[in-house]
Chains A and B, each alone.
Chain A
Amino acid sequence: MAIKDYLRERFFPHIWCPGCGHGTVLNGLLRAVEQLGMSRNEIVMVSGIGCSARISGYIDFHTLHTIHGRALAFATGVKMSRPELNLIVPMGDGDALAIGGNHFIHAARRNIDITAIVMNNRIYGMTGGQFSPLSGPDITATTAPFSSIDPSFDVVELSKAAGATFVARTTTYHVKQITDYIKQAILHEGFAVVEILSQCPTHFGRKNKEGSAVDMMKRYKEVTTPIGSKAKQENPDLIERGIFVQKERPEYCKEYEKMVERAMKGR
């Protein structure tokens, strides 16, 4: 099926600003689904609220655009009730890890078979450029006019610690990796996290003098490096890209089925 056939073109134009990284994520995601040859009927995309969350409206899957931060809780209900469906949950950094942080760690702890995509622009795009728990210190935002003092989460470390069994990170500069990692995340049985650094030129870029969208993407090339590279040893400030975790652990819905069997036997 052509990529175009996965889109709801009837609902275009989309709401994203020119140069927004979220469109690149959409592209990479659809290529992953296309390459896996998945039917649109077997995918449910659940999203919360944010510029990133709007991605669900444009794709012709079963789509559930919910409330801020709670997408994983809704997705848990969908998955538990129909385990044969594939759940993809794209989230903004604020959506996933500020208001939604609790649901994020619990979904990871359960190891429920959901693909979580964190579209990390280190800012609240939709509400106009406030800092998020992924902004980190020394960035300028509308709610950090004197530059931020809040330390940031590391999505990879947090996901690992919470129990995610697939964890990867890449950026909108590395488009092929987006497709590759999302493909592997979908195929993985368990809670999979793919963090994608995604530029918001409108708010983060402008406030922090990072230039145009293209400049911001080029920066992603400069500030990131493959896991364990020599460059990383020389410059510890570089952000690593790659697959950090890929392991097996009992998946929640499968475990539930076993419990149902026990219950039906009356034990």
Chain B
Amino acid sequence: MSKKVKFVQGNEACVEGALYAGVTFFAGYPITPSTEIAEHMAKRLPQIGGKFIQMEDEIASLCAIIGASLTGHKVLTATSGPGFSLMQEALGYAVMAEIPCVIVNVMRGGPSTGIPTHGSQGDVNQARWGTHGDHAIIALTASGHQDVFEVTVTAFNLAETYRTPVILLFDEVVGHMRERLVIPEKGELPLVERLKTSVKEGVDYHPYLPREDGRLPMSDFGGVHRFNVTGLYHDMWGFPSTKPSVVHGLTHHLVDKLENRVNKLAMYKEYFLDDAEYILVSYGSAARSALHLVKDRRFRGERLGLLELQTLWPFPGDIVREKCESARAVIVVELNMGQVMQSVKMAVSDSEKVFLANRIDGVFIAPVDILNILRLIQGKGV
């Protein structure tokens, strides 16, 4: 059978990825530039017997998908900055109660209503620290539609594997741009299904007692095991506890299950890094301009390389350090005031050699914008 090829917006590529991964429940509230995700879901899910519901706001949307996840569904919501801000409390709930779910934030310029129809990457740190309290989070991104599709599938896989919310940080440019998408055949990409408990009816089931490998087998609401789910610190039955050992243990569990696997969770792409004198570090739509410049300069014999990050959180610091070790300078290319640049500075051994090439005016960064910064760093003027 020939492969299914589509010419679609990034938002639709995300929908296709989610459907491929097995999403069956979506709740959302319209907001530019993510609305197309809800619109496509409203059409596609009923056709496969799935559920779509338009909720009264983004808080309710995230709450609803958490509820649906507990009955065994793979669940998704999608929003943009203002809606993502509203979701922060429920996001923390999903972290604490360890509920698999995927949240898309198609970033636009902020703060507040900001600049709804233009691209930005200003929510990177919000994804990490938007909800209160110590915790760890997974946030992924992509620069082109095939990757949008694949990281969306990965997001569902990671949500199931680690029982955690996973954030997909796309941006307006990728979300609205049209590009070719090849839908992989069934079975071509691995899918992780929910790990269900093997504990039999009538035997005590501990919903929050990790197995040796750290995973927590689940039991669906409506099944034979009844248990409590709470956002309070809780023991292995899910019952609230203020016991210092329980609180300490759970905080560590929530942080360590992701932070201890930072290298395993790291997804990235590298272009011409082997002999690169100058390295661009970028992600999302900005990485497209970065790659364009790198190819252009390579053609002219300049030793420029690109490290494109797809995992933004947990931040792959070791990998960034290793890849950038021998570069003369590292330029982080992003559509914000340097949110990933800060992480890169912390990761490399010489933070003085890290620079920023950005745009924060709603205009997409062009290769020449990056080149100008490179020339300044090289002392060659612009």
Contacts and interface: CB of A to CB of B under 8 A. Distances in A.
B57 interface: yes
Interface residues of A, number: 41
B51 interface: yes
Interface string A234-267: 0000000000000000000000100110111010
Interface string A32-61: 000000001110101000000000110011
7 contacts: A62-B227, A66-B93, A74-B63, A75-B67, A76-B60, A77-B75, A103-B56
Interface stretch (B186-194, B217-225, B329-337, B347-355): B217-225
Interface stretch (A80-88, A177-185, A204-212): A80-88
A112 to B, nearest CB: 10
Nearest to A65: B230
A73 B63 contact: yes
Contacts of A82: 71, 221-222
A66 B63 contact: yes
Interface of A: 8, 10-11, 40-42, 44, 46, 56-57, 60-67, 70, 73-82, 84-85, 102-103, 106, 256, 259-260, 262-264, 266
Contacts of A262: 46
Given A63-B229, A65-B228, A81-B71, A42 B64 contact: no
A57 B68 contact: no
Contacts of A79: 67
Contacts of B60: 70, 73, 76, 102-103, 106
Nearest to A85: B222
A11 to B, nearest CB: 5
B87 to A, nearest CB: 11
A78 B71 contact: yes
A76 B27 CA distance: 10
B222 A44 contact: yes
Interface footprint category on B:
35 or more
A260 B46 contact: yes
Interface string B193-232: 0000000000000000000000000000111101111111
A126 B57 CA distance: 26
Given A67-B89, A260-B49, A263-B47, A80 B222 contact: no
Nearest to B53: A80
Given A64-B229, A70-B63, A81-B73, A76 B55 contact: yes
Interface in B56-92: 56-57, 59-61, 63-73, 75, 89-90
A57 B240 contact: yes
A80 B55 contact: no
B7 interface: no
Given A63-B226, A65-B231, A66-B231, A44 B90 contact: no
Contacts of A103: 56, 60
Contacts of A77: 25, 27, 53, 63-69, 75
Contacts of B226: 40-41, 60-63
Contact of B59 (A42, A73, A260): A73
A33 to B, nearest CB: 13
A82 B72 CA distance: 9
A262 B46 CA distance: 9
A76 B228 contact: no
A106 B56 contact: yes
B283 to A, nearest CB: 31
B223 A41 contact: yes
A74 B66 contact: yes
Contacts of A259: 46
Contacts of B221: 44, 62, 64, 78, 82, 85
A56 B228 contact: yes
Contacts of A81: 24-25, 51, 67-68, 71-73
A74 B228 contact: no
B57 A80 contact: no
Contacts of A66: 63, 66, 93, 230-231
A62 B222 contact: yes
Nearest to A47: B230
**Which 8 interchain pairs have the tightest Cβ spacing?**
A77-B67, A77-B64, A263-B46, A73-B63, A73-B60, A81-B68, A78-B67, A65-B230
